[in-house]
Structure 1
Amino acid sequence: MSAADKQAVEEFRRDVVEPSMTKLVVIDFWAEWCGPCKQLTPVLEKVTAAYADKGVVLAKIDTDKNRFIASQFQIRSIPTVYAMFQGQLVADLTNARTESQIRTYLDQLLRQLPIEADGAEAEAELEPLIAMGEQVLAEGDATRALSIFDQLLEMAPDHPAVVSGRLRALVAAGEHDEAEAAIAALPPELAKDPGVQRAQSALQLARTAPPVDDLAPLVAAVNADPDDLQARFDLANAQMAAGDRDAAADGLLHIVKTDREWMEGAARQQLLKLFEVVGIEDPWVSQQRRRLSAILFG
C-alpha cells in the first residue's frame, strides 16, 4: 500500500468509519465529470441536512481522488450511495434518486438502528424556552413573546413549535403582513404542521376580526335589535379581537342556533377558526364543541 493509499484509508476511517459508530453515515461516491452525480448530490445534501438532528451525516467520496477507497468498495459506476452504521454497510441507497425516496430509506433505517440523535438534547433545551414564550403570549405581552420566539428561531429555525409561536406572536402584535410573508416563505412540509396551521388560522381570524376601539356601539346595536344577526356577528368578532372568547363564542353560537345557514354558515366557520386558534386540545374548546354539537344535532 502506497503512502497516498494509507493516507486515504486514514481519512476514510476518520471521516466515515468513526462517525458511523454512533451516526448513520450516507456515503456518496461521485466524480466531477459525472452528470447524474451533480443532480443527486444536492438532493443528498438537502435531505441529510434535514435529518442531521436525527443522527444522519453525509460523507462525499470523490472516486477520482480516492481510487483505492473506491476499489475497496468495488465501485463499478457512479453515483453509488451506501449507508454505514458502526463500520458496516447497512443499505444500498443508489436507486433512491428523489428526495422522497431518500427520506423513505432513511426513515426505515432510523427505525431499525440504535442511532444517537442530536435532536433529543437540543429538544430538551428548547422545551422550557418555548413554554416560556407561550406563557408570555398567553398573558398578552405579544411584543415580549415575539422577542423570545425571534431568539428561539435563531437556535431552531425549522422547529414547528418555534415557528408557530413566532407567527402567533406576530399576529398578536398586529404584524399581519409580516406574519403572512413568513407563512408564504415556509417549506411545504413545515406549513402542514398542525401548530403552524393554528398560526395560519390566527392570522385569518385577525384579518376578519380586527380590533375595535369601542365595543359600546356594537353592544347597543345588538340590544336594540337582538334579531340583527349581522350586528351580533360584528360584536362577536370585536369580542374575539379583544380577547373575550367566552362572549364571542356565546354570540356565534346564538347565530348558529337562530339560523345555522346565515351568510353561508359564517358564524360556524368563525367559531371553528376560534377553536383552532385556541387549540383543539384545550378544555375550553371541548366545552364549546359540546355546545355546538347540541345545537346542530340536539
Structure 2
Amino acid sequence: MSGAVDLSVLKERAQAKKTPEGARVAASVDVTEANFEAEVLQRSTQVPVVVVLTSARSEVSLALADVFERVAAADNGAWVLARVDVDSNMRIAQAFGIQSIPAVVAVAAGQPLADFQGGQTETEIRQWIDAVLRAVEGKLAGPGTVEDAAEPEDPRFVAAETALESGDFEAAEAAYKAILDAEPGNANAKTALRHVAFLGRAESLPEGIVDKADADRADIDAQLQAADAELFDQQPEAAFARLIDAVKRTAGDDRTRVRTRLLELFELFDPAEPFVVAARRKLALALY
C-alpha cells in the first residue's frame, strides 16, 4: 500500500506497544509546543535531548538537522534529536531565547546545557555531541527508565490493523468506526479512519482517470478521483492544485463537494506541512 498517504500512525503505534521496557529511546522526534514537555523536558532526565530549530525558509537549518539526524542514528539512543519547526512553534524558540536560526540547544535534566547558532560541519557536530555526552556521564537516569512497561495492546486496534494489513479496508473501516462509536473522542481512531477511507477509494480508481479529468474539467467526479490518484502517486501538491482550481470554476453543490473532499485530503497530513499550509491559503483565496 505505497503512496502519498503515510500509515505510520498505525505502524508506529503497533511498534511502540511492542517495545520492551528498558529498550533504547528513539534517535529522533519531531517536537511541537504540544509535546515539548514530554519529549524534551521529561525525556532529558533519561538522556540528553538536542533541540535543533529549523525553518522551511532556511536551507542551512534543514541541512544541519539532517546531519544531526545521521549522528543521532549512529549513536543508537545515547541522546535524542528533537527537531523543531520554529515557523509553527515560535514559543519554543522564544523559551530558549533564540534570535536566529539555525540554532541548537542541548537539554539535560530539564535544563539547557550547551548551545550554538549557525552552521557546523559534521566533524564539529560530532565533537560537540561528544562533549555533551561527557558532561552528563553518570548524571542522568538512562534510556527506558522514565516510562513504564508498554501497556497491553488494545484488541480493538489490533483487529483493525490486522484487517488493514490484509487489505480488507471495509473490515478495517468498520473496526475503527466501532471504536469511535464507543469513544467519539479517540484521536487515533479518527486519524486511522481517514487513512482507511482514502485507501479504500484509491484501490478502486479507474485506469487513466487523470487523463480523463484533464480532458473534461467539468466532470466533478473525475476531478475528485484524479486528485485521489495524484495523492496516492505521491503528488499532494498536484492533487490540491487540481481541487482548488475546481473550486474556482464551480458553485453551489459542486463547489461544496470539491471543497469538502479537499479538506478531507488536508486531514491526511500534518497541518504544519508547508504544502498543506500553502494549499489552505490558496483555498481561502479561491473561496473569498
| TM-score, with structure 2 as normaliser | 0.42
Structure with more relative contact order (C-alpha pairs < 8 Å, separation 6 or more): 2
Largest Rg, 1 or 2: 1
TM-score normalized by structure 1? Answer: 0.41
